[in-house]
Amino acid sequence: MRKWFSILTIFVVTLVLVPQFASAKDWYFKPSKNNQPATTEPEYDALLKKYHGVWIGDTTSKDIYLTFDCGYENGYTKKILDVLKEKKVPAAFFVTGHYITDQSELIQRMVKEGHIIGNHSWGHPDLSKISDEKYKIELEKLKQAYTEITGRTDMKYLRPPRGTFSERSLKLGEEQGYTSVFWSFAYMDWMRDEHKGADYAYNSIMKRIHPGAIVLLHSVSRDNAEALGKVIDDLKKQGYTFRSLDYLMAHKAAPSFVW
């Protein structure tokens, strides 16, 4: 009994003294059938609106926003960039400290070819469970490296590692000048030793894509790299337009924007 009381006491004290642990959340979206827009928890949607984050675009327009998370290089990003250049499609790449220091040439190419570099934190921690000071260091260290490599200071989009967040972490991100970007489409594509082929990637994307989709893909996936060209071509044939996050934010601010 005394043992369980001690454990309970520690748990309660943790919640009281470190409230962010109690309020940490895992991003969640619910796919819909027949290429209809995904949904999420009303609480999550409300929090993102409160702190001007995004997870989906205008669901009345056939726009798509491609985003890639880049934790490390697995040899496929060059092919992804080649496809995006050939198809004239913009994308956002959310990078970590390891990636930006290890792949400076790819970072420079991304910028040169008009893509957005987003902040995925320096060390990929759970941003909802670190101190305010550590949070700021995680973002600033990554941004400084970006500036040193590219000479630019325009890093303004943030993707919380693993999609974990809290109201406090969203607020801190906004205070640091970032728009938190989540997603309305993703699939399990980050397992580098579990390649299932380009057809699997293609079908996974095509059956769940929807108007206003913010698409999360991982650049470590060979399947994604091989399927991307066909995905882009076929979605364009269906009337979709690939847009940048800058376009999304500009139109989100317009009175006609509908969620």
Q: In CATH, what number is assigned to the domain containing residue 190?
A: 3.20.20.370
The answer to whether residue 136 is domain-embedded is yes
The answer to whether residue 186 is domain-embedded is yes
- What are the residue numbers of the active site? 69, 218
Q: How many domains does the chain have?
A: 1
- Calculate the average pLDDT of the chain: 89
The answer to whether residue 8 is domain-embedded is no
pLDDT of 7 reads 37
The answer to whether residue 45 is domain-embedded is no
pLDDT of 194 reads 66
Q: What is the pTM of this model?
A: 0.89
The answer to whether residue 44 is domain-embedded is no
The answer to whether residue 115 is domain-embedded is yes
DSSP the chain: -HHHHHHHHHHHHHHHH-HHHHH-EE--EE--STTPPPEE-HHHHHHHHHTT-BSB--TTS-EEEEEEEESS--S-HHHHHHHHHHHT---EEEE-HHHHHH-HHHHHHHHHTTPEEEE--SS---GGGS-HHHHHHHHHHHHHHHHHHHS-----EE--GGGEE-HHHHHHHHHTT-EEB--SB--S---TT----HHHHHHHHHTT--TTEEEEEETT-HHHHHHHHHHHHHHHHTT-EEE-HHHHHHHHTSTT---
Model pLDDT for residues 9-22, shown as the tens digit of each residue: 333 334 444 444 54
Domain that holds residue 103: 55-252
Model pLDDT for residues 83-117, shown as the tens digit of each residue: 999 999 999 999 999 999 999 999 999 999 999 99
The answer to whether residue 5 is domain-embedded is no
pLDDT of 15 reads 41
